[in-house]
């Protein structure tokens, strides 16, 4: 039975008004909590989606930078006529490096546009739990290497294919030389993701670059 309240207006007449029962208050409170809960869930979903989008943009930005930086250097590769960089391989342009037991994770060459520096790009996982891409110039001391990608992202793999080779140890192909009648070219294949985030997709990008200066003589 609903509560009744007696109210006397300014004319002196009596009016009867009803109050809310406990059941009605409970129903209103439950409805209000449901609306608030749904609103919060939608808000959190939007925030998480925005966060994933921002992280993906950062990943793609870093991957694009690393890919463009490596491509620019590889295009300017020059023959190592004196074996000062690619030891044991005269007149070669590129050399696979960083054997992991079955294939290679690095590549070395002379960069003509950077003062003929001996440059190396490679995948490294020794400094953190995540694989990162590093660079070395005129040095074999890894402590002097430069990071090309952030430790916040995991580079699943970094592969180089010289003139179509898949870069495996069984190939028996360690480098590429213009003396074989083919213009040297390198394909870069990179896979990366955000570690420990199942909502983030895995990305794979690939590009192929050719040596800028022709070193094959046609007579």
Other Cβ atoms closer than 10 A to 160: 26
Residue 85 lies in a domain: yes
Residue 119 lies in a domain: yes
Total of domains in the chain: 1
Residue 89 lies in a domain: yes
Contacts of 52 (CB under 8 A, 6+ apart): 197, 199, 200
SS3 of residue 39 by DSSP: helix
Task: Tell me the pLDDT band of 219, cut-offs 50, 70 and 90.
Answer: very low
Residue 133 lies in a domain: yes
Residue 67 lies in a domain: yes
Residue 4 lies in a domain: no
Rounded-to-integer distance, Cα 191 and Cα 207, Å: 12
Taking residues 5-31, report their average pLDDT. 66
- The pLDDT value recorded for residue 47 is 83
Q: What does DSSP assign to residue 213?
A: S
Q: Which domain holds residue 71?
A: 52-210
pLDDT tens digits, residue range 161-182? Answer: 888 787 777 766 667 766 566 7
Residue 2 lies in a domain: no
pLDDT tens digits, residue range 79-108? Answer: 888 888 988 888 888 999 988 888 889 999
Residue 13 lies in a domain: no
pLDDT tens digits, residue range 24-74? Answer: 788 888 888 888 888 888 888 888 788 878 878 888 888 899 999 999 999
- The pLDDT value recorded for residue 82 is 87
pLDDT tens digits, residue range 114-154? Answer: 889 999 999 987 765 688 999 999 988 888 899 999 888 88
86: phi then psi, degrees, rounded to nearest 5: -95, 80
- Spatial CA neighbour of 132 closest among 118, 112, 152, 116: 152
- The pLDDT value recorded for residue 217 is 47
Q: What is the length of the chain?
A: 219
């Amino acid at each position: 039975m609903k509560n009744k309240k007696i109210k006397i207006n300014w004319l002196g007449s009596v009016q009867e008004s009803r109050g809310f029962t406990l059941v009605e208050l409970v129903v209103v409170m439950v409805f209000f909590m449901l609306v608030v809960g749904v609103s919060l869930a939608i808000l959190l979903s939007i925030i998480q989606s925005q966060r994933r989008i921002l992280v993906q943009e950062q990943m793609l930005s870093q991957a694009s930078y690393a890919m463009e930086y490596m491509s620019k250097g590889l295009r300017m590769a020059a023959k190592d006529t004196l074996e000062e960089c690619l030891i044991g391989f005269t007149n070669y342009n590129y050399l696979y490096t960083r054997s992991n037991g079955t294939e290679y994770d690095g590549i070395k060459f002379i960069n003509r546009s950077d003062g003929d520096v001996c440059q190396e790009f490679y995948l490294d996982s020794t400094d953190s739990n995540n694989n990162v891409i590093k660079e070395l110039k005129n040095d074999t001391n890894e402590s002097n290497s430069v990071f090309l990608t952030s430790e916040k992202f995991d580079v699943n793999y970094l592969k180089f294919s010289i003139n179509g080779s898949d870069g495996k140890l069984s190939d028996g192909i360690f480098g590429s030389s213009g003396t074989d009648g083919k213009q040297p070219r390198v394909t870069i294949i990179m896979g990366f993701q955000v570690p420990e985030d199942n909502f983030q997709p895995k990305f794979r990008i690939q590009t192929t670059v050719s040596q800028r200066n022709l070193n094959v003589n046609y007579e």
